[in-house]
Amino acid sequence: MAARVLPDSPAAFKDAGWDDVLPYFEDLAERPLDTANVEDWLADWSLFESLLSEAAALANFDYSCDTSDPAREAAQLRFGTQIGPRAHEQRVRLQRRLVELGYKRPGLEAMTRRFRNQIELFDEANVPLFADLSELTTHWVKVNGAMTVTWEGKEKTPSQLLPFLESIDRQVRERAFKLRAQPFIEQRDVLAGIFDRMYDLRQKVATNAGFTNFRDFAHRDKNRFDYTPEDCMRFHVAVEEAVLPAVDRINERRRRRMGVEALRPWDLTVDPAGRPALKPFQDVRTHIDRATSVFANVDPDFHDYFKAMDDARLLDLDNRKGKAPGGFCQTLAFSKQALIFMNAVGIDYDVRTLLHEAGHAFHAVEASRLPLLFQRFPGSEMAEVASMSMELLAAPFIGKQNGGYYSDEEARRSRADMLEAVILFFPHCASVDAFQHWIYQDEAGRDADARDHKWLDVRRRFEGTSVDWSGLDNERIARWFQQPHFFGSPFYYIEYGIAQLGALQVWRNSLNDPKEAVRQYREALALGATQSLPDLFRAAGARLIFDSDGMRELITLAEEELDKLDA
């Protein structure tokens, strides 16, 4: 049987429906398969999946850039509800063919292990449930994209209030903080209703797959072979023991420098010495040009990768009404490039966000040299090592002498803010993960009011008492509704904490030998998904950490460097 001829561009699937896609899966499922032709079969399958995934990625990117466009919404829904879930079903069918063939060769062991896992998890009854979940996610994105507030007579998105949280006027900061939360408070019932429906669907998915709750299903579905839910609990405790004391020290130093009786949540991003907020760029074009120069100093290849993305118009970085919230990088598997989406408003955090997403993009390019698509993505844990390490590796070059953003003094401020943010991130990471563990293991997780109360309890556990949240329960609750992962990517968050510890180890290595640290980093990225998670960390010069001692050692190093920058 002759193989079906594949298109030469993802554009062939841009307007495709399921009936246009299915014949390619059928061809791969029905073509004779043996050890003599399996390599050609795998190559054809990989190429087809690359074309289809790139078409889906571009549809998601287009919709995220303008959630008000009905045509873009329709395309996103077509891929998310019609093609995606059914493609997953066919994908498992093909995985089963390969596994049953018993084909083995070096470099494919990790891939085969993932295939076996996905085969075990698959249940046909879940196909329409995943379609329903995708439709709900699209609805959630649309609700968020439409949110605006009125600030001094002008319509703004909630993200466009972030610069005002850096104002030296405390009353301005308080007003911006409360107004930014207001749309989420007003839409609380709508958002909670969307989540209720998601909760029911996810728990049903888990039951169909033979699990007692969605938490346990999600851990398996994410191919977490090298750590367990119990390790996540150990991580939560380690944050309490090793990080919270450092958080208290940072906040107390901030309180003293600001000369206030108590820190309020709107005091946490302003410069504590009263200096004007950092202004890294005035427009997105400048942001891109300066980032390009920064990457050249880390590694000349990174400069070339990023410039190629810019030339191909794969960067949409500015915030505007109608855009989806947050930021992301998506791999374009066929083009062997990546695209970056974010909501820049001209603050220092935007610099870190672009460095972060570019790390993902560079990972995609480095791993794209592996012949098969199935060998390239190692899972979110290592993917986030790529992004978080880039923030730290690029930080020494953000000054204007390297073509970057800041004067020497400003660069020191930015680097100090970044290290402070790294430390302060761990309590947020632990609270997001712990909240999800509770939601899907406790029947009360289905109750909207119980979720809100639990979120407050979890935040108090991991944030301590160094910030005064009195009278702000509604604003504090609104924070979980702003977290995209709860809605669109459940249980995708502990990876950030695991990866941040890996990135801190890459950074520690760079303090001693920058070039060698970058070499190891690139070597690890180029391995894609061909090795286990511990081996990928090892290649990058790091190890997996869930214990208090290992976490404390890295937090101490970050605090020491922070003291030098603040001196």
Pair (242, 165) in one structural domain = yes
Helices (H), ranges, 442-532: 448-463, 473-481, 484-488, 494-512, 514-526
Neighbours of 241 (CB within 10 A): 14
Return the pLDDT at 243: 97
The answer as to whether 42 is a domain residue is yes
Q: Are residues 164 and 126 in the same domain?
A: no
Of 434, 490, 534, nearest to 221 by C-alpha is: 490
Residues 131 and 29 in one domain: yes
Residues 99 and 197 in one domain: no
Domain match, 257 and 164 both: yes
Highest mean pLDDT among 139-143, 180-184, 272-276, 460-464: 180-184
Q: What is the pLDDT of residues 13-29, one digit of tens each?
A: 999 999 999 999 999 99
Per-residue confidence (pLDDT) for residue 4, from 0 to 100: 82
Per-residue pLDDT reduced to its tens digit, 154-168: 999 999 999 999 999
Percent of the chain past pLDDT 70, that is, above it, reads 99
Are 161 and 48 found together in one domain?
A: no
Tell me, yes or no, whether 156 and 108 share the same domain: no
Condensed to tens digits (0 to 9), the pLDDT of residues 106-119 reads 889 999 999 999 99
Q: Is residue 64 part of a domain?
A: yes
Percent of the chain beyond pLDDT 90? Answer: 95
What rounded mean pLDDT belongs to the chain? Answer: 96
How many domains would you assign to the chain? Answer: 2
Q: What pLDDT is stored for residue 286 in this prediction?
A: 97
> Within this chain, do residues 154 and 259 fall inside the same structural domain, yes or no?
yes
| Residue 76 domain-assigned (yes or no) | yes
Question: What pLDDT does 104 receive?
Answer: 87
16 located within any domain:
yes
Tell me what pLDDT residue 1 has.
Answer: 55
pLDDT tens digits, 221-257: 999 999 999 999 999 999 999 999 999 999 999 999 9
* Residue 565: Cβ within 10 Å count: 16
Judge contact between 414 and 398, C-beta under 8 A.
yes
Report pLDDT for 2.
Answer: 61
User: Phi, psi (5° rounding) for residue 316?
Assistant: -125, 100
Confidence band of 488 (pLDDT split at 50, 70, 90): very high
Distances, alpha carbon 135 to alpha carbons 82, 196, 509, in Å: 10, 14, 44
Residues 238 and 166 in one domain: yes
Question: Are both 14 and 130 inside the same structural domain?
Answer: yes
- Is-contact 301 525, C-beta < 8 A? no
Residue 108 within any structural domain of the chain:
yes
**pLDDT one-digit tens code per residue, 500-551:** 999 999 999 999 999 999 999 999 999 999 999 999 999 999 999 999 999 9
- 372-405: burial string, b at 16+ Cβ within 10 Å, e else: bbbbbbbbbbbbbbbbbbbbbbbbbbbbeebbbb
Q: Is residue 178 part of a domain?
A: yes
Q: Is residue 450 scored above 70 in pLDDT?
A: yes
pLDDT at res. 207:
98
Alpha helices for 209-336 (secondary structure H)? 214-221, 229-238, 244-258, 284-298, 300-311
- Find the domain containing 86 and state its range: 10-135
Q: Please give the pLDDT value at position 107.
A: 87
The per-residue pLDDT for 145 is 87
Q: Which of 488, 505, 535 is the last residue of a domain?
A: 488
Is residue 195 in a domain?
yes
Cα gap 167→171, rounded to integer Å:
9
Q: Is residue 341 part of a domain?
A: no
Residues 122, 167: one domain? no
